[in-house]
Amino acid sequence: MAEGKKPRALATQAAAKIAKFVKGNLSATLKAKEEGKKVAYAYIADGQDEIMRAMDIVPGWGESFAGVCAAKRDAEQYLQKAESDDFSRSLCTYATCTIGFDMIREELKGEPVPGAPWGGMARPDMILGSGQLLCDPRFKWPQATQHYLQDVPVFVGSMYYPPFDPNVDHKSQEKFYVKYATEELRELVKFCEKHTGKKMDWDRLAATVELSDRTWDLFIDTYELRKAIPTPMDTGDAMNTMVPFTFNLGTQEAYDFYKDLYDELIQKIAEKKGVADEEKYRVIWAAGLPSWFALGDFQYFNDKGVVFPVEVTYRGGEKIERLELPKTNDPLEHIAWRWVRYWTHWYDKARKRPGSVPKVERIIEYIEDYKCDGAVFHSAFSCRSWHAGIIHQAETLKKVYKDFPVLIMEGDIVDISSYNEADTHNRIDAFVETLEASKKRQN
């Protein structure tokens, strides 16, 4: 039932600043031309942030643009435009939403699209994709976009990490994975130099990488403050506060944002200010991108006394010292080590628990550290990369904890046609009852 629904209330002041960040990123692409800068379509977690920042390339983030369209419930026209040229509705809707927007902008000869959220994105000068284990659209989306922007050069690099095998120590493979990732980053630098007409300033890159490392550390330090009871911030806010880390890595603004957030959370903890009026249940957002058009559902959880002190989604980093990165003077190799070690960080733990997998070990670590009573997953129909394998994770989790409430929600990231609010809230209600029963049994 939809009664009692409140608009999403942000728990932190920092999260309220995020709209400005997102808008700033979009408008940076629109202003780039007059500032003599190049715009690159870019995709998150590709390890390319520092190279773009060090070369003054302005990233145009398709995932962010599509997320904004979804949050404003304004994506349908772009999805339909893409569909009109035979892009299936079952494909990644971040991609199809943005491609639909690109198609309309091309029909307008590159001029801004009237009514596009916050002015939309500028026509890019290049597209920087990445073939990797993270998702297929990261290399298919650039290729599909080029069909409509045929003069725009596309680079697709590679950022691989060893796959998990319970019987193999992945560390024996790390070196050649890092070598490969480093070489691919070097190819990206060459490509960017060619298309910007500028040489890489390697000292600037090294400083940018160092700033990113500090941001990774501060980001994790800040998020770990959420272990406090009551938690001062939950996933509803984190789906906003992830923006600087995800889209502005390698900038001072991102670092400063987390400094402010850190200070704010310290203050809230001192004042024992929680997210919910009464924090009854602590739940992990264990996997899945959110429905950007339905972030108000976090409020629905909060109103029932359910808070999310931790989430896997968009927590795309770890304390650098925990990754034990080998020393190198090559900033590209450092980036490669950082990503390879991050993606394989939970492998050793998983090998120690027969039948487990790294994704589950990560969830277990967070459940223990943040004292969670249950787990929520979100399965988005248009995204295989994040959402295939969720059943296996949930089942493995249940085997480890026996009596542990798990909810798998279903929907999409962008396509609102998949969403039914009443049904979603009914499922949440049932989950809360399960949490209650489980807690009673444990007491």
User: In what order do the strands lie in the sheet containing 306-311?
Assistant: 306-311, 281-287, 374-380, 406-411
Query: Which of 399, 405, 400, 398 is closest to 438 using CA atoms?
Result: 405
Cβ nearer to another protein, comparing 172 with 329 = 172
| Shortest distance (Å) from residue 422 CB to another protein | 22
Considering the rule CB under 8 A, would residue 78 count as an interface residue with another protein?
no
- Give 225's contacts (C-beta < 8 A, 6+ positions apart): 232, 233, 262, 265, 266, 269
Considering the rule CB under 8 A, would residue 382 count as an interface residue with another protein?
yes
Residues 158 and 82 sit within 8 Å (Cβ to Cβ): no
Tell me how many residues contact another protein (CB under 8 A).
58
Considering the rule CB under 8 A, would residue 91 count as an interface residue with another protein?
yes
Q: Using CA atoms, how far apart are residues 126 and 135, in angstroms rounded to an integer?
A: 20
Considering the rule CB under 8 A, would residue 67 count as an interface residue with another protein?
no
Q: Using CA atoms, how far apart are residues 375 and 390, in angstroms rounded to an integer?
A: 12
Q: Using CA atoms, how far apart are residues 19 and 153, in angstroms rounded to an integer?
A: 30
| Shortest distance (Å) from residue 49 CB to another protein | 19
Residues 173-202 that bind another protein (CB under 8 A): 173, 176-177, 180, 183-184, 187
| Shortest distance (Å) from residue 331 CB to another protein | 18
Give the interface segment with another protein, choosing from 156-164, 224-232, 326-334, 368-376 (CB under 8 A).
156-164
Select from 21, 78, 160, 346 the one that contacts another protein (CB under 8 A). 160
Considering the rule CB under 8 A, would residue 6 count as an interface residue with another protein?
no
Contact code string over 111-150 relative to another protein, x by CB under 8 A: ------------------x-xxx-xxx-xxx-xx-xx--x
- Residues forming beta bridges with residue 40, ordered by sequence position: 59, 126
Considering the rule CB under 8 A, would residue 85 count as an interface residue with another protein?
yes
Cβ nearer to another protein, comparing 74 with 187 = 187
| Shortest distance (Å) from residue 201 CB to another protein | 24
Cβ nearer to another protein, comparing 102 with 217 = 102
Residues 61 and 67 sit within 8 Å (Cβ to Cβ): no
Select from 162, 232, 250, 405 the one that contacts another protein (CB under 8 A). 162
Residues 341-360 that bind another protein (CB under 8 A): 355, 357
Q: Hey, is 206 helix, strand or coil?
A: helix
Q: Using CA atoms, how far apart are residues 317 and 420, in angstroms rounded to an integer?
A: 33
Considering the rule CB under 8 A, would residue 384 count as an interface residue with another protein?
yes
Other CB atoms closer than 10 Å to residue 171's CB: what's the count? 12
| Shortest distance (Å) from residue 412 CB to another protein | 10
For the range 113-120, what are the long-range contacts, defined as Cβ-Cβ under 8 Å and sequence gap of 24 or more? 115/74, 117/26, 117/65, 117/68, 117/69, 117/72, 117/74, 118/22, 118/23, 118/26, 118/27, 118/68, 119/26, 119/27, 119/30, 120/26, 120/30, 120/65
Cβ nearer to another protein, comparing 25 with 145 = 145
Question: What sign results for the dihedral spanned by CA atoms 377, 382, 387, 388?
Answer: positive
Chain residues in the site for another protein (CB under 8 A): 85-88, 90-92, 95, 129, 131-133, 135-137, 139-141, 143-144, 146-147, 150-151, 154-158, 160, 162-165, 173, 176-177, 180, 183-184, 187, 355, 357, 379-385, 387-392, 395-396
